[in-house]
Chains A and B, each alone.
Chain A
Amino acid sequence: MRHVFNVRIGPIGFRVGSDWREPVEQLRELYRFYPSPNLPDFTVRLEATRPWRRWIRPSVRIAGDYTLPEAAPLPLAQGVLAAEMGMNMQLALGGRRYLLLHASCVERDGRAVLMTGESGAGKSTLATLLAARGWRFMGDEFALIDPETGLVHAFPRLISLKNAAIAAAVAARPDARLGPLLTGTPKGDIRHMVPDAIAVGAMDEPATPALLLFPRFGFAADTRGVQPSEAFVRLTQASTNYVAMAEAGFGAMTGLVRATPAYAIDYPDGATAVDMVEAVWRTL
Chain B
Amino acid sequence: MRFRAPPVEALLIAELDAFTAIFHRPSGITHLLASPAPEILAALATDTLDVDALLARLSARFDIGDPRREALAARLDELAAAGLVEAA
A binding-site residues for B, Cβ under 8 Å: 227-229, 232-233, 236, 242-243, 246-247, 250-251, 254, 257-258
Give CA–CA (A243, B21) in the complex, Å.
14
Which residues of A are found within 8 Å of B28, using beta-carbon distances?
243, 246
A250 and B16 in contact (CB under 8 A), knowing A229-B32, A233-B32, A243-B28?
no
Chain B nearest CB from A265 CB (Å) reads 20
User: How far apart are B6's CB and chain A's nearest CB, in angstroms?
Assistant: 15
Q: Which residues of chain A have C-beta atoms less than 8 A from B23's C-beta?
A: 246-247, 250
How many A-B residue pairs have C-beta atoms within 8 angstroms? Tell me. 36
| Docked complex Cα distance between A110 and B19 (Å) | 30
Q: Is the CB of A229 within 8 A of B18?
A: yes
Main secondary structure of the interface of B (DSSP, over half): strand
- 1/0 contact trace for B1-32 toward A, CB 8 Å? 00000000000101011110101010010101
Chain A residues positioned under 8 Å from B21 (CB to CB):
229, 232, 250, 254
- Could you pull out 15 A-B pairs where Cβ atoms are within 8 angstroms? A227-B16, A227-B18, A229-B16, A229-B19, A232-B16, A232-B19, A243-B28, A246-B28, A247-B12, A247-B23, A247-B25, A250-B14, A250-B30, A254-B16, A258-B16
- Apart from A227-B18, A229-B17: 18 A-B pairs, beta carbons within 8 A: A227-B16, A228-B17, A229-B16, A229-B18, A229-B32, A232-B16, A232-B19, A232-B32, A236-B30, A242-B30, A246-B28, A247-B12, A250-B21, A250-B23, A251-B12, A254-B14, A254-B21, A258-B16
Which residues of chain B are within 8 angstroms of A251 by Cβ–Cβ distance?
12
How many Å lie between the Cα of A257 and that of B14 in the bound state?
11
CA distance A229 to B15 in the complex (A): 9
Measured between alpha carbons, how far is A228 from B17 in the docked complex, in Å? 7
B13 CB to closest chain A CB, in angstroms? 9
Instruction: Report the bound CA distance from A243 to B14 in whole Å.
Output: 17
Q: Give the most central of B16, B18, B32: most A CB within 10 Å.
A: B16
Note all chain A residues with C-beta closer than 8 A to B12. 247, 250-251
Nearest CB of B to A251, in Å: 7
Q: CA of A251 to CA of B14 in the docked complex: distance in angstroms?
A: 9
State the CA gap A233–B16 with chains docked (Å): 11
B32 surroundings in chain A (CB, below 8 A):
229, 232-233
For the complex, what is the distance from the CA of A246 to the CA of B26, rounded to whole Å? 11
**When chains A and B are docked, how far (Å) is the Cα of A246 from the Cα of B19?**
20
Least CB distance, B29 to chain A, in whole angstroms: 9
5 interchain residue pairs of minimum CB distance:
A254-B14, A229-B19, A250-B23, A228-B16, A229-B16
- In the complex, what residues of A have CB within 8 A of residue B19's CB? 229, 232
B22 CB → nearest A CB, Å: 9
- The reply to whether A257 and B16 form a contact with Cβ atoms under 8 Å apart is yes
How far in angstroms is the closest Cβ of chain B from A213? 18
Contacting residues, chain A, for B16 (C-beta < 8 A): 227-229, 232, 254, 257-258
**Which residues of B have CB within 8 Å of A250?**
12, 14, 21, 23, 30
